[in-house]
């Protein structure tokens, strides 16, 4: 994993270009923007990943594209026809 650029450790936490950065959250797992510093993982695009996800999916995320669940793919009409046939 690529290192977090310009990162320094301070009393306030890890600082990048004057911003205190927070570690990534579980929803970030798999994102290409994750960088490593001091044994922790941070986002290269956003200082506070938890806030980035607070309002829904992170718009910088390179993973977790809008997912279509298996349930959403089932056409309800066809499903009911299949059920009717089985009778």
Query: CA torsion sign, 60 to 23 to 44 to 64?
Result: negative
- Phi/psi at 7 (nearest 5 deg)? -85, 140
Token readout for 36 is 């490593």
Contact status: 4 vs ligand SF4 (CB under 6 A): no
Size of the residue set binding ligand SF4 (CB under 6 A): 13
Q: Does 16 participate in binding ligand SF4 (rule CB under 6 A)?
A: no
Residues within window 45-64 making contact with ligand SF4, judged by CB under 6 A: 45-46, 49, 52, 58, 60-61
Q: Count other Cβ atoms within 10 Å, centred on residue 14.
A: 19
Footprint of ligand SF4 on this chain (CB under 6 A)? Answer: 24, 28, 31, 33-34, 43, 45-46, 49, 52, 58, 60-61
């Amino acid at each position: 994993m690529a290192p977090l650029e310009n990162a320094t450790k301070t009393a306030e936490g890890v600082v990048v270009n004057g911003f205190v950065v927070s570690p990534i959250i579980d929803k970030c797992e798999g994102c290409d923007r994750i960088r490593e510093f001091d044994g922790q993982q941070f986002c290269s695009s956003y200082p506070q990943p938890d806030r980035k996800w607070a309002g829904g999916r992170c718009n910088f995320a390179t993973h977790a594209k809008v997912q279509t669940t298996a349930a959403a793919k089932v056409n309800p009409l066809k499903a009911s026809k299949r059920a009717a046939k089985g009778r």
